[in-house]
Structures are given as C-alpha cells and as structure tokens.
Chain A
Amino acid sequence: MQAFLKSDRPSLSAGTSLSSEDHTGQTAHRRKPPAPWVEKYRPRSINEIVEQKEVVSVLQKCIDGADLPNMLLYGPPGTGKTSIVLAAARQIFGDLYKERILELNASDERGIDVVRSKIKSFAQLTASSIRPDGKPCPPFKIIILDEADSMTHAAQAALRRTMEKESRSTRFCLVCNYVSRIIEPITSRCTKFRFKPLNEDKIIDRLQFICQRECVEMETNAYGRIVEISGGDLRRAITLLQSCQMLKKGGGKIMEDDLLEISGVVPQRYLVEFLSVCRSGNYSKLDEFVQDLSFEAYSIGQVLEQFNEFVLTHPDLSSDQKSVICDKLGECMFRLQEGGSEYLQIMDLGCTTILAFKK
C-alpha cells in the first residue's frame, strides 16, 4: 500500500481519494484499490524484481553511477521486462525522467519516419552529467523501445544507424517477446538478456507477499496450482489470484478447486476421451467429439498443448506412435498460432492418430 500511495502517476493518486466500503470488514481502514493487483504490485524499484539476476546487477551498477550498454531484453509475457526497465529509468534519473527518457511501445507510431525524425532528434540532444540541483547523474539519455518485435525490419534497419552515431549520448533499451524478430545487426549491437519463465518458489513467494498485504487466505495446494497454470508468467499468476478472491462470495479461504474453472485448463477426461475415440477408428465419432469440445468453448490451442504432454507420458503408446502423433501435433500447433482453423487442425491430428493406431 505504501508504495502505491507514493506512486507518482497522477491518475493513480487521484484514484486514492475515492472512499469506499470494505467488503470483508476485517480491515475497515483499507481503501479500494483503483488499479488491479498486477499494477499495484508492479515493482517500483529494481530490488523488488523477482529473479532476473544479471539484468538487475547491470542496472544496479548504472544506478550507482556506472555506464550502461545498449540492451535487449527478451522473454515470455509477464516476466518483468517492462517493469524492470521503467523502474530502473526512474531510479537513474529521478525528476529528470521526462527529459532523459523516450519510451515508445507498440501502440506508438514507430515506422521508418518516426525512427528518422523523432528518435533521431531525441538522440541528438545533449545530456549533461549534473542535475539542475547540482547532484550528479549519468551523462546520457535512454530510448526505450518496448515491444520492439512489432517494429518493421525497415524501421529496425533505420534504427541501426542512429544507434551507432549517437552512441556517445544515448543508450538504447529494446524489449520484446520474440528475439527472432529483431534483425541481426541490432541484436549484435546490444547486450542480450533472456528473461526466463519465473521459478516456482519465486512465484509462490510473491503471491504469499501479496496475500499477506491484501489479507487473503489461500490453501497451500492452491499456490502450487496457480504456479502450474501460470507457466512461469507472474502477471497471469497475480491476475488468477485476484480473480479467485473476487469471484468468491464473501471472501473466505481460496481453495484449489476455485482455480480450475477460471484457469481455462482442459479437464483430463477430454484428453482421455480424445485418445479413445481415435483408438476406436470411428471418424464420425471423432467429428462429434470435436464439435462437443468446441461447444464447451475450450481453447483448441490449450487442448493440443495438454495433449502433447498426455501422449508423451502415455504408457500404452509405442514410441513409433508417439513420434507420428507428436510430429503432427507440432505442425497443427504452428498453423493454429498462425491463425489456422481450430476445427481443421484438431481433425487433422485426429485422423493421423487414428491411422497411427491402425498400423
């Protein structure tokens, strides 16, 4: 709460002036948070960042006065990339934040023209090593390009020249999910930091911390379950936690079962049935099963992901069968991600599985 009240975002602090009743009644003095927990517990200083040791130590050195390399941070969603960059920028520059930081994300225009004009002219500004109040600060500016994987290659290529020419007074920090979408000349000019999915105990620690602050009680198994569902995505884990607490009537302890429905995880019995329908070799049964599955609104992507695991560890399948099925699975998953039809992909997989049983 403390960190939250100190927040320097005007919109957030305006929200705190609103009074509200408290539904649990246990902590009557508590105020309704105007922002969801993911934002409320977004780290404000880099010490609060869970894991990601290497980046934290590089940035810490910079806060202590050292120079900073150009950086490229990449990794799956919800692992702290945006948080750490924003927190570090604030810590390094304090009040000078506005003058020294240019933050552009995928929602901003970042075509070639912008790179050539806006980014270039910002990069050319000089930066002194003393703040107006006399304190020292690093003699450079930072340009943060969040979600850089959505920049076109042409724009990235244009960026490359600016990075080179303005290296004296400007540092670049690129953030993205997919490093393969960044062109080589840029990646080779940056120190790369990979953000791994967060570790189980780290997520649990953070969740416990939040539960304590928010006076929420949760069963031990439920922690494990959240971690499993989130797959190392802390944002997802926190959202799940808050959702459980909100969807539950009148508060009360959060149990493992509360999580099942909101997680979107496909119940095991569907996987079992899918395989047995395929084993029966009956195409129209398969068709019916697939229709049912989509009426139940389960995400086929999720089904395929879980089916992969299910097949790999299945005791009755031969390794030949496993390899045929998993090969097709990979193909279907790829096409699905590229926008292919859910129905066709899973039917294709079903047919392959049927044939694998017939061999």
Chain B
Amino acid sequence: MALWVDKYRPRELSKLDYHKNQAEQLKNLSQQGDFPHLMFYGPSGAGKKTRIMCLLRELYGTGVERLRNETMTFTTPSNRKIEIMTVSSNYHLEVNPSDAGIYDRVVVIDLIKQVAQTHQIDPSGQHDFKVIILSEVDELTKDAQHALRRTMEKYVATCRIILSVNSTSRVIPAIRSRCLGIRVSAPKVDEIVTILNNVCRRESLTVPEELARRIAEKSERNLRRAILMLEACKVQQYPFTAKQEIADLDWQMYLKETANQIILEQSPSRLEKVRERLYELLSQGIPPDIIFKGLVQDLVKNCDMSLKAKTLEFACLYEHRMQNGSKHIFHLEAFVAQFMNIYKKFMSETIMMDEF
C-alpha cells in the first residue's frame, strides 16, 4: 500500500495545489517543446520533484510514469567500479550523483555522455532531447561541478539537464549561469492545512481544523513531513481529536536532549557522552549541517546577546572547517567543547554578579 505522500502526489501541472501561477508558466514552457537547462531550488519538502515530474509529463505524456529502477556501473580512472541506482523512463533518467561520494564526477560525466550518445528520437519526431534529472546538486563535489560546465553546453542539443538543489549558494556561478533558475518556496501553513483536508476527504476521514493546523505548524512548512505526520496520527488514533499528540521525529528529540545535556553540565566526561550521542546521530544519516543548526538553535536559548553572537561565530568557524575537512565528528566535537568553555565562563560570571 502506497503512503499518502505518494498516493496523492499531483501528477499534472494543472493539479498542483499551490504556486499556481508558476505552474501556469511551467505549462507555457512545456508547450514550446523546448527549454534551457533548469535548476529547481527550494527547501526540502517544498515540491521540487513533484513539479519536475509534472513538467515532464506535460512534455512527454504519461510515458514518463512508466519507471524502471536500474543499477548502472561506472568505472573510475583508477579502475574502481561504482554502482549507482537510477530511475528512468523512455524519456528521462534520474540520479543522485552524490551517492557516489568523491567519485561523483565520473558518474555525472559518463552518464550525460552515455545518454547523449545513445539517445533515440521518438518515432513521432516531437522530442529531440532527453532529460537528465540530477538531485542534490548542492552536495556535488567542486570537481564534479566543474566537469559539468562544458558538458552541459556540449550535449545541449540532445539532452537537457534539470538540477534539483536546496541551497543555491553551494552551486558554482558557472553552473548557475547555464540554467534557468526556478524558485520553489515552501507552501504556507494555510496551504498545507488545505492539502491535509483534501487528503482526508479523499481517504473519507474527517480531521478537526485544529489538528490539521497543529500538524501544519509543526511540519516547518515541509509538505512531505506534514502528510507523513498526518498518516502517523491516523495510525495512532482514529477518530482524530483536536488535541491529540503529534509524534516528534525521533532524531529531533534526540538532538534536543543532546543540547540539553550540554547546557546542564560542562566537563570532559560530559563531552565524552555528548560525543557518543553525536556519533549516533551521524550514523543515523542525519546531515552534519542539520545537527549544527539544531544544536545552535537550542544552545543559544539561555545565553545573553553577546554570548549568542559568540556561539554563532564559533559555530560558523567549525562548520566551515567541517565542510572542508573529512571527519565531521571532529569539528562538531570541537564546537561543543568551545561552547562548554564560553558557557561555563558566562555562567560563573553571572553568578558572581548575582552575589554582589
């Protein structure tokens, strides 16, 4: 049984629930039968992928929905074999090149070359290019991004590339210069509420207005997360009640508790414990920059303004080092140690002030 997120994913541009104006524009784009390389950017759960698939369907018809999963094999110059999962139809191919880690360059380049060279113009002669969707392009190594530059230009006659990214700041200017950017902002809370109501109606359920709103607010304007939460609520308890509990994501609670432990005690032994917890989060696949952000948001709560500023300064410093280094844990831990240090000083100073 499909999850609601997949079951109720709009498949046509005209059925999109929000950003209707943009959907209209995308429709115009597809009607020309031709477009430049595109870069869809926006926070996760905002609907980038849904829009991309709707656009493709508009362009190629329902054929794009007949998907195959395939494993493709690539060989690096040093003769190492890399396997990557791809999803494709007769018209397009989707891949997340950052799955290949530091070998992403080989994947991107070989893939585009292969598709461009083996492309078949479909019998009706309407489409003379295929589409390659590259997801999480902001996670690509600089090396891979550089390699994309000329490749994108060279094969443009036979293949168009659609990039999906969260943060455009990590995409090099030369690539941004080669694409038309399409901004997909997160849906508003009201829009999410409407969509949750629609889902319930189609499932023949009734949902109290208050619960829908609470879910929408808790989802951080991430539609995917909101629908998942709704479904989880349904599993937990139906009929729904307005005040029923909405489960937090496990890792978020875990992260909050980690921050809490740092605030409670600043000592080498505590640092050791925190380190284990950070390890745990990393091994669960939580991206380290998300961990940084979550920690900072909780840690600064008890600080005065100048300590807040200091905390951010250190967070920036260590996060930046982390992005350019290899062992994430080192830099996370260094930040925590540094924070414990300044926080302890701050606390003892405020206590002294109180005593006077």
Contacts and interface: CB of A to CB of B under 8 A. Distances in A.
Interface string B8-51: 00000000000000101110110111111000011100100000
Contacts of B181: 262, 264
B178 A235 contact: yes
Contacts of A61: none
Given A77-B174, A235-B177, A338-B320, A283 B293 contact: no
Contacts of A105: 149-151
A340 B320 contact: yes
Main DSSP-derived SS at the B contact region: helix
A70 interface: no
Nearest to B221: A295
Interface of B: 22, 24-26, 28-29, 31-36, 41-43, 46, 77, 109, 121, 125, 128-129, 142-143, 146-151, 153-154, 156-158, 167-170, 173-174, 176-186, 220-221, 289, 292-293, 296-297, 300, 305-306, 308-309, 312-313, 315-316, 319-320, 323-324
Nearest to A39: B156
B128 A15 contact: yes
Given A283-B305, A297-B184, A355-B306, A106 B316 contact: no
Interface of A: 9, 11-12, 15, 18-20, 23, 32-36, 38-39, 76-78, 82, 105-107, 109, 111, 146-147, 149-150, 177, 233, 235-236, 239-240, 242-243, 246-249, 261-262, 264, 281, 283, 287, 291, 294-302, 332, 335-345, 347-348, 351-352, 354-355, 358
22 contacts: A20-B33, A23-B31, A32-B33, A34-B34, A34-B157, A107-B151, A109-B77, A149-B146, A233-B177, A239-B180, A246-B35, A248-B28, A295-B185, A297-B43, A298-B183, A299-B41, A332-B316, A335-B316, A338-B324, A344-B312, A348-B313, A351-B313
Nearest to A13: B157
A146 B77 CA distance: 20
Contact of B324 (A111, A298, A339, A354): A339
B279 to A, nearest CB: 20
A241 B128 CA distance: 22
B95 to A, nearest CB: 16
Contacts of B324: 338-339
